[in-house]
Amino acid sequence: MEHYYFDNAATTPVSASVVQAMTAVLANDFGNASSTHSFGRRAHDLLDQSRRTIAQSINAASVDEVIFTSGGTESDNTAIMSTAAAYGDRGHHIITTAIEHPAVLQTMARLEKQGFEVTYLPVDQLGYVTAAQVAQALRPDTILVSIMMGNNEIGTIEPIKEIGALLADRPVVFHTDAVQAYGVLPIDVQALNVDFLSVSGHKLHGPKGVGFLYAKNGVKLVPFMNGGEQEHKRRAGTENIPGIVGLAQAVRDLDGPNKATKQANLLALKQAVLKELAQAQVDYHINGPEPMDSLPHVLNLWFPGLPTNLALTNLDLRGFAVSGGSACTAGSLEPSHVLTALYGANAAEISESLRISFGSENTLAQAQALGQALVTVVSDYLGH
């Protein structure tokens, strides 16, 4: 039986070009980038080249604004905890949203235990917050606004540029979690006016265990790991050169028009699944914005009357891997905090929805086959 992977918002398969780039480093370049001999200098050159590639991809003003980390969670934690440590003498108020990734929400909960006050902005039924909501929530003691660029469960793209413009002349640090957005949307950190931006390699066909944090020059950064002076004293620990080179290769693969092409291809896959459901007259509803308005790789569907766990099992038995929500919480019995924020704690959508997320290795034929499998599962269970 063929197996098809449609859970790319959880993680993506590593591309052949990334495997090749990493294998070459693993085989030939084992030096420590902090060493001054030829082996170390070679590793440091690879580090510099990778940093330039990534800085250019987001239009950073300086290559030094890119800090390599272990991934999105560390990048989120660093941005938030650093701001609390660096600017806590100015105020103890933070603004975020109710639908952030657990890496943000749990860090906020930690800060609340330390005496910080966090405002969790509600979202509408499509998952949006507005710049007006942020403006209304701002206080004289607000030091940080942290709002994700694209939601990992329903694909909502938040108005980061408008919020950045609102905060441009205010003494407030602005962080955005771009883990889901970076691989599919064009990003210009200067146009967005963000101070921190988080990215993870394994969401864009790169390796796990590596990511980066964009930190705007002039914004204070207090490292929360102690150790050596790597990453210009901002992130201790010997750099993962093979992983960083793999991340940079994944970024090169998305260069320029490649990202726009990927965006169009992913949207076509999404529409192919919906076309199969529509032709079979399956009763479904989209959670979040319409396909053209959301992240092109994320599709969250409610099938009234079809329990999520039953649908997941039956699709898996047919060779299709999808999910019921964020992979970071899927192993628990807790309901999706994102769908709860949209519909309320007792809504049927919470226990009857599926997240389908597409990647570069999916084909149109696979998407059509997934749509047909969904039709079969719904029909078998609901009897029509």
Give the dihedral of Cα atoms 127, 286, 177, 194; nearest 10 deg.
-60
Helix (H) and strand (E) counts in the chain: 13, 12
DSSP string across 4-62: EE-BTTT--PPPHHHHHHHHHHHHH----TT--SHHHHHHHHHHHHHHHHHHHHTT-S-
Strand partners, 196: 175, 215
Residue pair 174/142 in contact (Cβ under 8 Å)? The answer is no
Stretch (H or E) spanning 164: helix 160-167
315 flagged as catalytic: no
**Active-site pick, 138, 268, 328, 330:** 328
Phi, psi of 270 (to 5 degrees): -60, -45
Q: Give the closest residue to 82 by CA, choosing from 146, 160, 168.
A: 146
3-class DSSP state of 175: strand
Task: Classify residue 148 by burial, with Cβ atoms within 10 Å: 0-12, 13-18, 19+.
Answer: buried
- Helix %, strand %, coil % for the chain, to 5? 45, 15, 40
Radius of gyration of the chain (CA): 21
Catalytic machinery residues: 328
